Amino acid sequence: MRRSLRVAAAGVIAVIALAVSMLTATAASAAPCTTYYVSSASGVDSNDGCSSATAWRTLANLNTTTFAAGNQILFQKGGSWTGELQPAGSGDSGNPIVISTYGTGATPILAGGGAAATVYLHDQHDWTVQNLEITNTSTTAANRAGILVQNDLTTTLHGIHLSNNLIDNVDGSWAQGDPQPVTTSAISFDLTDSNTTAGWDDVLISGNTLTDDDAGGIYLGSPNGVNHNISSTNVVIQNNTISNAGGNSIVCVFCASPLIQYNVSTDSGYRDSGASMWGGWTTSAVWQYNEVARNWRALVDGQAFDVDNNTRDTVLQYNYSHDNPFGFMEFCCSSTFGTLGNSVIRYNVSQNDGASYAVFGTLGGLETGATAQVYNNTVYMGAGDDGAVTIGTPPPGSSIAFSNNIIYKLGTGGYTSTRTTWSHNLMYGNHPASEPTDAAKVTSDPLFVKPGGGGDGLASASAYAVTTGSPAVGAGALISGNGGLDYFGNAVSSTAAPNIGAYNGAAVSTPAATLGAYWRLDEGTGTATADSTGDGNNGTLQAGASWTTGQLGTGAVALTGASNSFVDIPTPAVNTSGSYTVSAWVKPNTLTGNQTYASIDGSSISPFYLQLTAGKFAFTVRSADSTTASYTQVLGPAPTAGTWYELTGVYDSSAHTVKLYVNGVLQGTSAFSSAWTATGHTEIGRGKWNGAAVDFANASIDDVHMVSYAATDRQAFAFGTGATAYYAFDEGTARRFTDSTGSTPAGRLEGNASWAGSGHVGTNALTLDGTSGTFAEMPVAAVDTSKSFAVGAWVKLNSVTGGNQTFASMSGAAVSPFYLQLAAGKFRFTLKSGDSTGASGTDANALAAATAGAWYHVLGVYDSTAGTISLYVNGTLQSSAAYTTPWKSAGPTVIGASEWNRVPVDFTNGSIDDVHFYNRVPSASEITTLATP
């Protein structure tokens, strides 16, 4: 009925609304008490409700009572009620009507049970709703809310405070073409579209926890969302935690100077459309100290933040955005329907955003004449985050100034820079041809505390403070009206030049290195090489070392065998008395003498030598820090000079064994139980003997790992075969999963994804139930789909009937570039010819139908040289097909689903284990190994 009223003429609506309001007030009884008690356990509706001993039982009396200023409605803890709560009456400014709790026990539950809203306030003011759990479940999704506050009047309603509630499992809905979801979110403030003057004043939405709600979290606006006065004032939305919202997390429309701060939104946007946090038709909004992580999109947008249409003079500051495939922020939407005034985007931290689009997106969303200042932000884009830094072009008459930003970019994406200016930015890592001109540009390493090391929580962005010697310190341009503070609360002077980036404090001491390291050796210039794990084990090329072409990535270190030709790392990268693994790609120039590719210094000798000795590869360990100590050695094959090999040495402190793998193949195992701790430097390209540097390598060396665990056969295989990502899914706890190769950042389980408790390979596996939004996602691309690649997974399906089930894919702008899946009961590998639903697809199909409950290894291969795709099941070729139209998708990587028409689809119902990605075509023997559990 509420929806039907809104389609009538404005005058009729006002009359009807007033009549209904008067009728309701007449029908409802006046409140004879000050405080009302409701107990689902001991209450009786014939009681007066005025004490805990005479409490009411159901919602019926509440919905027929008109409450007055200062009244309280208290629900007994431990109780639960079903239906819609719609009490009448209003409070006064400073003397609201309060809905809260009494007693001890669990939070009381108000369950809407499919009602239009669980709590509904219609044309009322000065209410506080706090400390409740509110649900609204149904067998079918529909237009419904958790708390719905409706203003159908022509005036401003005052004093709605919603605090410390848990609002979960609201089964709302939204589809493309529907009105704005102002009546179908967890918290909904709906202004009528029958006039332009309705508004809110003194709105406080604070400390609420919103989980599993559709169509979204918090929405203030109107169904049309346009052509309304900016009439909502004194709006504060703060300290709310939102997870798995179907679409938007927080939206403020028609708001004047709202403050939105200290909110956290994670793992949202998988079912409905839009950015996580945004404002439209709003003036002077301040969005600060918010965190958005792993936001998706169905259909459009999907950024963490959006400065939307007819929004003027927004300030977006001190926010932390990470692992959002569609970017940190955008301006929306066009030169005639876009952002107004001067937007300020400053002192924010963005980590691994934008792989599927750009960190700063839709620059064309400024209206003609609008400007934006984007300054002192810190952006980190790890390897595989190949999205753009900026995309779109501001219209003539508008401009964006990028100043004092750090862009730490290991991915391959570029920039658009028309009608933008760039000044005093630090751009480090990959430098594409489209990198903007900046006369004061800095290109040196900013020396972060731990690049890529941010996690969940605003405080974890401390990884992006800068350390002693950083070129960012004091190198920025002075900007008028800079806000006075940086992301971390440090002062920003109005007269002295600031640092570049979001950190403006004094450089901090370089933190002590921690165990574990991965040297990609891709720098290509200078003498520094970074530990890409962020654990601080950074190295320096000595005078005789230089750069060359790599086996993996773009570079490698070239060593000559001279005594000054090695890479020195001044820390021990692993504890050699415990389990550890050391691996490296090597290309020997000569095969004579001892040549050590990786080691750590003891006082007298090295505890291990990953090396060439007597013309063969070897992993040699010593029982004590003495030249007289016994040794244990596992030998490998005799290599050929000028050929790349991958060597992995493993010490297992539990099994008391050492192993050597060459190209992922185990060469041998020997007993060893006399490990000891070396505390000296880590060395790439030499060892130590009798207190002196020895065994200098005459070789190229690439991609060196040292980790504090004993690699499994499968992990050693991934290292040895150059897998670009390997997800063992053996974690078994929490919601994160890691890439054993260290090449890609950690991923996240979404929806109902969980751990199986046992695995087909290793100790565990991923289990999925086939429901919408249930899959695992890693925020960057695992492979370059424009070139040869392969993807393989072990799968066990609960059902082989019904729709498609995708085991592994990536996401483009509209569709996935490939689908490793079950279709019509058979396994299939599909590649699309372009990033649109209209693009043709090429299939390689299995010969036989799959059986539920059985484990299969499914492998898809694209061979760019042959121009073919192929599907293997359990190591056996099923079919091949011609394919010559590859395109590059920048990510993210998705396990257990795929993308179609910008929406996640084809969810797997079953278990997935041991997923490998390669940027090449695997050999026949490798395919056999992958298919052998």
Summarised one tens digit per residue, pLDDT across range 870-913 is 999 999 999 999 999 999 987 789 999 999 988 889 999 999 99
Query: Phi/psi of residue 413, each to 5°?
Result: -65, 165
CA atoms within 13 A on the CB side of 819: 28
The pLDDT value recorded for residue 885 is 96
Residues 19-33 pLDDT 10s: 333 333 334 677 789
Is the model's pLDDT at 383 over the cut of 70?
yes
Do residues 619 and 720 lie in contact, with contact meaning Cβ atoms separated by under 8 Å? no
What are phi and psi for residue 279, nearest 5 degrees? -130, 145
Q: Do 244 and 267 contact (CB within 8 A), yes or no?
A: yes
Average pLDDT over residues 576-596: 98
Q: Is 532 helix (H, G, I), strand (E, B) or coil?
A: coil
Residues 371-385, mean pLDDT to the nearest whole number: 95
Give whole-number Cα distances, 55 to 47, 64, 133, 577, in Å: 6, 16, 20, 68
pLDDT of residue 6: 26
How far, CA to CA in Å, does 362 sit from each of 323, 324, 393, 457, 584? Answer: 19, 16, 8, 27, 42
Q: Do 598 and 684 contact (CB within 8 A), yes or no?
A: yes
| pLDDT(3) > 70 | no
Q: Are 704 and 595 in contact (CB under 8 A)?
A: no
- Residue 1: band (very low, low, confident or very high) from pLDDT cuts 50, 70, 90: very low
Q: What are 899's two structure tokens?
A: 């993308």
Residue 633 has pLDDT above 50, yes or no: yes
Q: What pLDDT score does 297 carry?
A: 82
3-11: average pLDDT? 28
Assign 11 a pLDDT band (cuts: 50, 70, 90): very low
Residue 300 Ramachandran class (φ > 0 left, ψ -120 to 50 alpha, else beta) = beta
Mean pLDDT of 379-407: 95
For residues 380 and 389, the answer to whether their CB atoms sit within 8 Å is no
Diameter over CA atoms, the chain? 101
214, 187 in Cβ contact below 8 A? no
pLDDT of residue 349: 98
Two tokens, residue 649: 């040495």
More confident residue, 6 or 470: 470
pLDDT tens sequence across 784-811: 999 999 999 999 999 999 999 999 999 9
Mean pLDDT of 837-859: 97
The whole-number pLDDT of residue 435 equals 97
Given a cut of 60, is residue 7 above it in pLDDT? Answer: no
pLDDT at 852 over 90: yes
Residue of 554 and 541 predicted with greater confidence: 541
Residue range 196-228, pLDDT digits in tens? 999 999 999 999 999 999 999 999 999 999 999
Could you tell me which residues are beta bridge partners of residue 567?
A: 541, 684
Output the pLDDT for position 751.
87
Residue 504: partners with Cβ closer than 8 Å, 6 or more residues away: 376, 486, 488, 490, 491, 492, 498
Torsional class of 709: left (φ above 0), alpha (ψ -120 to 50), beta (otherwise)? beta
Residue type, 198: A
Distance separating alpha carbons of residues 330 and 310, to the nearest angstrom: 14
What confidence tens digit (pLDDT) does each residue in 442-454 have? 999 999 999 999 9
pLDDT digits (tens, 9 = 90+) for 676-730: 999 999 999 999 999 999 999 999 999 999 999 999 999 999 999 999 999 999 9
Kindly tell me if the per-residue pLDDT of 841 is higher than 70: yes
Give the per-residue pLDDT at 74.
Answer: 98
Place of tokens 């005639």: 336
Hey, which residues does 375 pair with through a beta bridge?
A: 346, 403
Residue 669 Rama label (left phi>0; alpha psi -120 to 50; beta): beta
Both ends of the chain: CA-CA distance in Å? Answer: 60
Q: Write down the number of H helices and E strands in the chain.
A: 4, 77
Helix locations, 558-602, DSSP H = none
Confidence of residue 272 (pLDDT cuts 50, 70, 90): confident
Alpha-carbon distance of 523 to 845, in angstroms, equals 42
Residue 2 above 60 pLDDT? no
Burial of residue 204 (number of CB atoms within 10 Å: 0-12, 13-18, 19+): middle
Question: What is the reported pTM?
Answer: 0.90
**Contact (Cβ atoms closer than 8 angstroms) between residue 238 and residue 261:** yes
Residue 320 pLDDT grade (very low, low, confident, very high; cuts 50, 70, 90): very high
> What integer is the mean pLDDT of 846-855?
97
Q: What is the mean pLDDT of the chain?
A: 94
Quote the pLDDT of residue 5: 24
Q: How far is C-alpha 657 from the geometric centre of its chain's CA atoms?
A: 38
Residue 771: Cβ within 10 Å count: 12
Mean pLDDT for 79-91 is: 98
Whether the predicted pLDDT of 168 surpasses 70: yes
Burial of 882 (0-12, 13-18, 19+ CB in 10 A): exposed
Does residue 10 surpass a pLDDT of 90?
Answer: no
Q: What DSSP letter does each residue of 774-817 carry, written as one string?
A: -EEEESS-SS-TTS-EEEEEEEEES--SSS-EEEEEE--SSS-S
Q: Is the pLDDT of residue 651 over 50?
A: yes
Q: In terms of C-beta density within 10 A (0-12 exposed, 13-18 middle, 19 or more buried), how is residue 136 classed? A: buried
Helix residue ranges per DSSP H, 453-535? none
Per-residue pLDDT, 18: 31
Report the distance separating Cα 60 and Cα 81, nearest Å. Answer: 11
In the chain, % of residues over pLDDT 90 = 91
Q: CA torsion sign, 491 to 495 to 496 to 501? A: positive
**What mean pLDDT do residues 176-184 have?**
92
* Rounded CA separation 240/262 (Å): 7
Is 343 a residue whose pLDDT tops 70?
yes
Residue 143's nearest CA partner among 181, 102, 172, 100 is: 172
**d(Cα 698, Cα 903) in Å, to the nearest integer?**
52
In degrees, rounded to 5, the angle at the alpha carbon of residue 268 between the alpha carbons of residues 266 and 270 is 150
Residue 25 has a pLDDT of 37
